[in-house]
Amino acid sequence: MSAIETIASGTQLRQRLNAVRRSGGRIAFVPTMGNLHEGHLTLARQARQHGDCVVASIFVNRLQFAPHEDFDCYPRTFEADQAGLESCGVNLLFAPDERELYPEQQHYYVQPPAMADDLEGAFRPGFFRGVATVVLKLFNLVQPDAALFGKKDYQQLMVVRNMARQLALPVQIVAGETVRAADGLALSSRNAYLSTQQRTQAGNLYKGLAEIARSIRAGNRDFSLLESDLLQKLDKNQWKVDYVAVRKQTDLQLPTESDRELVVLTAARLGTTRLIDNLEVSV
């Protein structure tokens, strides 16, 4: 296996990828903020099915963090990430610094629609604007044929997919399944913030979603009750819940009686660590 090539400059990246394109190669892209876990690495392996050249990026994007959030202490583990990506057969790692992606103050943004002000957007104003802006910028630099995003960030996946469709971006958006620990906890870079005791509790977030999914499959359509039951249960066990919501998979709107393709989404905090998760349910 050839060693991964790491590039920090956007111009060099473009030149390198033009050569791939000229020789008829397809490019698959996995954007990340680093501190990679098995969820990212699974996407990186999956990317090989979509491209002859697999590109990953590591860039902690200041634009998607609110001032009180964890931008400064977001775990940066570059060497381990680089080795992990290499072991998954990633060909090129784009690792720009802030001056490369934001050489001047960013005045032009991608403003996502109202759907992005709900759920995560309601608790992290500006988050999806920051994500959509950097993803478009990365797409412009990499010009991938396919880009892979994990379903764990379900609303992010939807925002990116809609942006690609509405702005006619020539890229196929591919969704990767959430990778979970043995107790069901969705893998996330932020799990590293949990104390041992919180980590034991953290598995209950997924268990709660799974219980709602079971109940819906058994015919329960009282979504408000299912949501508030889980909210109360978590509340009693050290969690501070932002939301538990049953939505339509297609557009994350409230389901009607006839909707069958659903997703249960949640965000909740254990101490200062905010975890998100979701589970699709088809009935």
Question: Footprint of ligand PAF on this chain (CB under 6 A)?
Answer: 31-33, 61, 64, 131, 134-135, 153, 156
Smallest distance, Å, CB 31 to ligand PAF? 4
CB 259, min distance to ligand PAF, A: 27
**Shorter beta-carbon distance to ligand PAF: residue 35 or 215:** 35
* Per-position b or e across 242-269, b if 16+ CB within 10 A of its CB: bbbbbbebeebeebeeebeebbbbbbbe
Please say which residue, 64 or 204, places its beta carbon nearer to ligand PAF. Answer: 64
40 is catalytic: yes
Burial 15-38 (b: 16+ CB within 10 A, else e): ebbeebeeeeeebbbbbbbbbbbe
Catalytic residue of the set 37, 40, 68, 107: 40
Residue 61: CB minimum distance to ligand PAF, A: 4
In angstroms and rounded to an integer, the radius of gyration of the C-alpha atoms of the chain is: 19
Nearer to ligand PAF, 32 or 215 (CB): 32
Q: What is the DSSP letter of 153?
A: S
What's the rounded Cα separation, in Å, for the pair 197 and 238?
11
Q: And the tokens for 189?
A: 């870079």
Q: Which is nearer to ligand PAF, 64 or 266 (CB)?
A: 64
CA gap 29, 17 in Å, rounded: 11
Which amino acid, residue 53?
Answer: C
Q: In what order do the strands lie in the sheet with 172-176?
A: 5-7, 92-94, 53-58, 27-32, 146-150, 172-176
Give least dist CB 57 to ligand PAF, A: 7
Q: Which residues are catalytic?
A: 40
